[in-house]
Structure 1
Amino acid sequence: MFVVIGLIIAFVLIAVFSNRATRYCRWRERRGAEGSTWSCIHCGAQVQGLWGVPPKDCHRDRAPPRG
């Protein structure tokens, strides 16, 4: 019984504290000499950043048009 209540509380906390703006962002890193190029596999956005530090914001407006 306690396990079920604990799981319900965990799912509620995850839903409350998750960042909805970047829910679908899946960043892939390509390392370079001076930094990294991060590519989102969901929308195709590409941004420059530091090694090992993925973007915290969604950059869909920077994505090239698909189609």
Structure 2
Amino acid sequence: MIVVVGLIVAFVLLVLFTNRDTRLCRWREYPGSGDSDWRCVHCGAHTTGPRGSPPQRCLRPRA
């Protein structure tokens, strides 16, 4: 019984603390001189930004 309650609590915490804006994004960094080029493997979005700091929101184009 305690295992079932633990699984339910873990699922609820997972739902509450995941960032829905970037849930599917998988950012890859391509460093260059100065800022890095960031590309999302999942949706193909790309942007530039500081090294070691991936975008905090999804940048995929909306249809």
- The TM-score by the shorter chain falls in which range? 0.7 to 0.9
Q: Counterparts of 2:47 and 2:31 in 1: how far apart (Å)?
A: 12
Shift of 1:3: 4.0
- Percent identical across equivalent pairs? 56
If the length of structure 2 is used for normalisation, what is the TM-score? Answer: 0.83
State the match for 2:7 in structure 1.
7
Task: Read off the aligned partner of 1:9 and give its amino acid letter.
Answer: V
State the Cα RMSD in Å: 1.7
In the alignment, structure 2 segments of 5+ residues that lack a partner are: none
TM-score for both structures, normalised by structure 1: 0.78
Q: Who is 1:22 aligned against?
A: 22
State the distance in 2 between where 1:60 and 1:28 align: 14
Taking the aligned partners of 1:55 and 1:12, their CA distance within structure 2 comes to: 25
Query: What are structure 1's unaligned runs of at least 5 residues?
Result: 63-67
